[in-house]
Structure 1
Amino acid sequence: MAGRERGRGPKRGAGGTWTTRPSGPRSFLLVCSFLITLGSFAVLPYMSVLLHQRLGLGLGTVGVVLAVASLVQFSGGVVGGALARRIGLRATMLVALAVRTAGFAAFVPGLGSPSAAIGALFLVSCGAALYLPANKAYLVEGATESERPRLLSASGSAFNAGIALGPPAAAPFVLTSPGALFAGVTALFAVVGLGHALLPAATVSTAVTAAPGASGPRKDKDPAAPAGSPGAGGPPFVVTVLSVYVFMFFQHYLALYAVPRTSASFYGGVLMGYACLLVVAQPLLSEWIAGLSYRRAMRVGFGAMAAGTAVIGAGGRAGIGVGAALICLGEIVLFLKNDLEALARSSAAPAVVFGRQRLAAGIGAFASGVIGGQLYGVAEDLGTAHGFWFAVSLQALVLPVLLVPLAGAVRRRYGGSRTRPEKHAAPDGGPRRT
């Protein structure tokens, strides 16, 4: 298995904790996580500019296209998880990269045709949907439960480093020579795909290896509380929907609020600082987050997002900067803890779990986009854009308290917390039961 090379098992670090030295395949995937987001975010943040200014699409049409593409990219993770269970993790990543490479290549001739450009964008979105569940599952396959936080946080840091560097690296070429830019991104994805073809195959497994020397119940679970109950923090799917729902208000609407009140350069600096903080803080906080109970992680995460949006609403450069830092803390805590809790509570293969988490994220992002646009419009009409952020802050405090226990009660009533064995791919490709 990729995660268990000979002679490279986990080592005990200071204070009795277990640390992970990534294997060769895992290290390669982490590097690719950076390169993939570097290439993707060299072009995707500028799609609205290309579709509107170069291809002449109306802003309303551009908004619909980007919203649907985002929904495909998130919700398609369920298909990615199912495909990984059928054909394997490496094969799924190869298919995903082939689709995404074809999408970026299609942009080169598609820059003169709106329909061709939209088709290329949806190919790219489909490839992204297929890739991420298999990528995360490959990283954690064969890892102990105590190793997972470091691996997933390292993956998140690699992705966010690419997100931070991609837009400024591509800015000089987006409008002057977009064809060359898309050709370069296509070549990058082709090389990354060839590298994936050299990875050792990994079976899709549900087994969770206990950390050496580990005993007793996990510290972040209440042994007396059934999975999905309010005492255990609530179903991770629902918490993920709410986490992304609240977070996407910040991502979608901060520019509208911050640029007129500060400057475009200040806003760009906030985004750069945000991404850098994610890259540095995620690995440093991973063990602390893993040790939190799910209920406490929710209180910290949603509390930080509520405080951050409220501070942004207070206005000024300092408020925007401090608010962004608080929301960054909320994202780090909630996004990592949701993935860890979803893995720990499910008997399904990790790729399937990550696919469901992507679906939850897609639902939250879509709802935030629809509701946020209406809410921000009302706030502007009333002449109080500050009130928009206070309304978001109130939602961050109230919605988890109201909806998470309700979802847990429904889950228990209809037997959703029960698990049963699922079929997964065996090393020889045939089905096996775990």
Structure 2
Amino acid sequence: MSGRGAGGGGPGAGGAREAAAGSEPTAVRRRITGPQGFLLAGSFLITLGSFAVLPYMSVLLHQRLGLPLGTVGVVLAVASLIQFAGGAVAGPVVARMGLRRAMLLALALRTAGFGAFVPGLTSPVLAVGALFLVSAGAALYLPANKAYLVDGAPPEGRPRLLSASGSAFNAGMALGPAAAAPLVLGSPGVLFACVTVLFALVGAGHALLPRAAAEGPADSADSADPPPDRAAGGTRTGLSPFLVTTASVYAFMFFQHFLALYAVPRTSAGFYGAVLMGYAGLLVVAQPLLAERIAALSYRAALRWGFGAMAAGMAAIAVGGHAGIVVGAALLCVGEIVLFLKNDLEALARSTAPPAAVFGRQRLAAGIGAFAAGLVGGQLYGAAEAVASARVFWLVVCLQCLLLPVLLLGRRGARGRIGPRASAG
């Protein structure tokens, strides 16, 4: 979905509806409903609770339960795979159960998982099983959450809702680790008990949500308005949001995985933590402000801006020092905002599948990108450290960020341009 397709007054029924909607007050069309507001608040609380414990999982598994670091790495990799790749299963499950019931099941799984950590703090087997249960709940919840959030919303309202959702999640990610720091090592049982109660309360609130407007095999918004490519008479070829999402997350995760290894020895752990807090705060503020501008961009322009910002950010990190790391993180934040939001919007607009299935595929694409970045990045960073020049790592990643949009856009050109969509203003 883009600003061109959503608000361009396309032909047919979509254009008639847009004309009729023109008489409605703008404030009414842009109002967040009560259920949407609850979901946004719930997204913050869920992420707050999750990130109160999950960032410390390696420490708990290794130091408290005595698992070897190699085993810890395998456990966390499998948990990540469940959380991301499980998104592909979420679509069929949601189609059968409905959005509200799928969210309730997901929250029940996560509540049970966090609750199992309380006795699991003395049992590695129980703790690992609890972690996998939490990951499975996340795999099911996130696609259903986003699908419910945009359920019944007009295409032009989706950027605002998805950006607000991203801000809620990032606010929880920023505050969760700091809120849990006093308890995570000294009283982890108390911490897991508090998180369990939080998830139980949020789950109870979800039980009061009304049924989604589209609980069947197709979303009402998608069935009412064909994707922009088809509405404009074009074909469904061109850039694949799945492929672009994979490449976007692949490029971004070099920063996510390896900045700590680079920044902490050269600055301090406190400075690194401050950078992460500032990064999350910038996401929370900037994403809703930029949402409509990003929606109005063509997909080609979004790739250039997003990957360009990431490339500049990697280059700034390579310069090193406190200023270079701060500037690099800010530029990476801009790249993340542009690419991640635009990929979701395009995936929704180009697919006739229910939104939950679309978001599930997007999660799968993100998982593939993150997995590839971990494999490639580990080898690259090790090679850079072997020649005593970690800055080379960031320069190589910068080069990849410059090449990826060229390769993606070149692949699109080789498959043929979309006439009406390519020329749409």
TM superposition score normalised by structure 2: 0.88
- 1:321/1:224 Cα in 2 relative to 1: closer, same or farther (>3 Å)? farther
Q: Answer whether contact 1:104 1:186 (CA < 8 A) is retained.
A: yes
Q: Answer whether contact 2:99 2:144 (CA < 8 A) is retained.
A: yes
Cα drift, residue 227 of structure 1: 2.9
Cross-structure match for 1:120: 130
Q: Answer whether contact 2:222 2:354 (CA < 8 A) is retained.
A: no
- 1:79/1:389 Cα in 2 relative to 1: closer, same or farther (>3 Å)? same
Cα drift, residue 115 of structure 1: 1.5
**DSSP-derived class of the 1:200 partner:** coil
Give the Cα separation in 2 of the matches to 1:73 and 1:409: 34
Cross-structure match for 1:140: 150
Q: Among 297, 301, 317, which residue is 1:296 paired with? A: 301
Q: Among 311, 320, 335, which residue is 2:316 paired with? A: 311
Cross-structure match for 1:348: 353
Q: Answer whether contact 1:74 1:129 (CA < 8 A) is retained.
A: yes
| Letter of the structure 2 residue corresponding to residue 30 of structure 1 | L
Residues 4-38 of structure 1 show CA distances to partners (whole Å, capped at 9, x for unaligned) of xxxxx996449xxx852111111000000000000
Cross-structure match for 1:91: 101
Give the Cα separation in 2 of the matches to 1:221 and 1:45: 43
Q: Answer whether contact 1:11 1:20 (CA < 8 A) is retained.
A: no
Give the Cα separation in 2 of the matches to 1:210 and 1:324: 40
- 1:144/1:263 Cα in 2 relative to 1: closer, same or farther (>3 Å)? same
Residues 360-410 of structure 1 show CA distances to partners (whole Å, capped at 9, x for unaligned) of 000001111111111111111111100110111111111232245437867
Q: Answer whether contact 1:239 1:404 (CA < 8 A) is retained.
A: no
Give the Cα separation in 1 of the matches to 2:337 and 2:23: 24
Q: Among 189, 204, 210, which residue is 1:194 paired with? A: 204
Higher share of residues assigned helix: 2
Q: Among 55, 75, 84, which residue is 1:45 paired with? A: 55
**DSSP-derived class of the 2:182 partner:** coil
Please state if 1:109 is matched with 2:122.
Answer: no
| Letter of the structure 2 residue corresponding to residue 165 of structure 1 | L
Residues 246-279 of structure 1 show CA distances to partners (whole Å, capped at 9, x for unaligned) of 1111011000000000000000000000000000
Bigger Cα displacement from structure 2, 262-271 vs 66-75 = 66-75
Residues 183-216 of structure 1 show CA distances to partners (whole Å, capped at 9, x for unaligned) of 00000000011110110011333333799xx9xx
What is the correspondence of 1:244-263 to structure 2 with a 5 Å cutoff?
Answer: 244-263=249-268
Aligned residues: 393
Identity of aligned residues (%): 71
Give the Cα separation in 1 of the matches to 2:409 and 2:193: 46
Give the Cα separation in 1 of the matches to 2:267 and 2:175: 22
Please state if 1:179 is matched with 2:189.
Answer: yes
Give the Cα separation in 1 of the matches to 2:230 and 2:91: 26
Give the Cα separation in 2 of the matches to 1:337 and 1:239: 10
| Letter of the structure 2 residue corresponding to residue 268 of structure 1 | G
Please state if 1:227 is matched with 2:236.
Answer: yes
Bigger Cα displacement from structure 2, 37-46 vs 69-78 = 69-78
Give the Cα separation in 2 of the matches to 1:125 and 1:96: 10
Q: Among 48, 59, 67, which residue is 1:57 paired with? A: 67
- 1:241/1:262 Cα in 2 relative to 1: closer, same or farther (>3 Å)? same
Give the Cα separation in 1 of the matches to 2:316 and 2:357: 38
Give the Cα separation in 2 of the matches to 1:252 and 1:19: 40
| Letter of the structure 1 residue corresponding to residue 236 of structure 2 | A
Give the Cα separation in 2 of the matches to 1:263 and 1:221: 53
- 1:10/1:206 Cα in 2 relative to 1: closer, same or farther (>3 Å)? farther
Moved over 2 A (4+): 9-14, 203-211, 220-228, 403-412
Q: Among 208, 228, 241, which residue is 2:221 paired with? A: 208
Cross-structure match for 1:32: 42
Cross-structure match for 2:273: 268
**DSSP-derived class of the 1:257 partner:** helix
Cross-structure match for 1:398: 403
**DSSP-derived class of the 1:171 partner:** helix
Q: Answer whether contact 2:318 2:324 (CA < 8 A) is retained.
A: yes
Please state if 1:322 is matched with 2:331.
Answer: no
Give the Cα separation in 2 of the matches to 1:86 and 1:191: 25
- 1:64/1:10 Cα in 2 relative to 1: closer, same or farther (>3 Å)? farther
TM superposition score normalised by structure 1: 0.86
Cross-structure match for 2:288: 283
**DSSP-derived class of the 1:43 partner:** helix
| Letter of the structure 2 residue corresponding to residue 228 of structure 1 | T
**DSSP-derived class of the 1:347 partner:** coil
Q: Answer whether contact 1:310 1:389 (CA < 8 A) is retained.
A: yes
Give the Cα separation in 2 of the matches to 1:150 and 1:291: 12
Give the Cα separation in 1 of the matches to 2:331 and 2:297: 18
What is the correspondence of 1:156-175 to structure 2 with a 5 Å cutoff?
Answer: 156-175=166-185
What is the correspondence of 1:331-370 to structure 2 with a 5 Å cutoff?
Answer: 331-370=336-375
Give the Cα separation in 2 of the matches to 1:297 and 1:222: 22
**DSSP-derived class of the 2:183 partner:** coil
Q: Answer whether contact 2:306 2:338 (CA < 8 A) is retained.
A: yes
| Letter of the structure 2 residue corresponding to residue 301 of structure 1 | G
Cα drift, residue 70 of structure 1: 0.9
Q: Answer whether contact 1:154 1:283 (CA < 8 A) is retained.
A: yes
**DSSP-derived class of the 1:172 partner:** helix
Q: Answer whether contact 1:238 1:404 (CA < 8 A) is retained.
A: no
Identify unmatched segments of 5+ residues in structure 1. Answer: 1-8, 413-434
- 1:228/1:328 Cα in 2 relative to 1: closer, same or farther (>3 Å)? farther
| Letter of the structure 2 residue corresponding to residue 402 of structure 1 | L
**DSSP-derived class of the 1:279 partner:** helix
Cα drift, residue 119 of structure 1: 0.7
- Alpha-carbon RMSD: 2.4
Q: Answer whether contact 1:36 1:162 (CA < 8 A) is retained.
A: yes
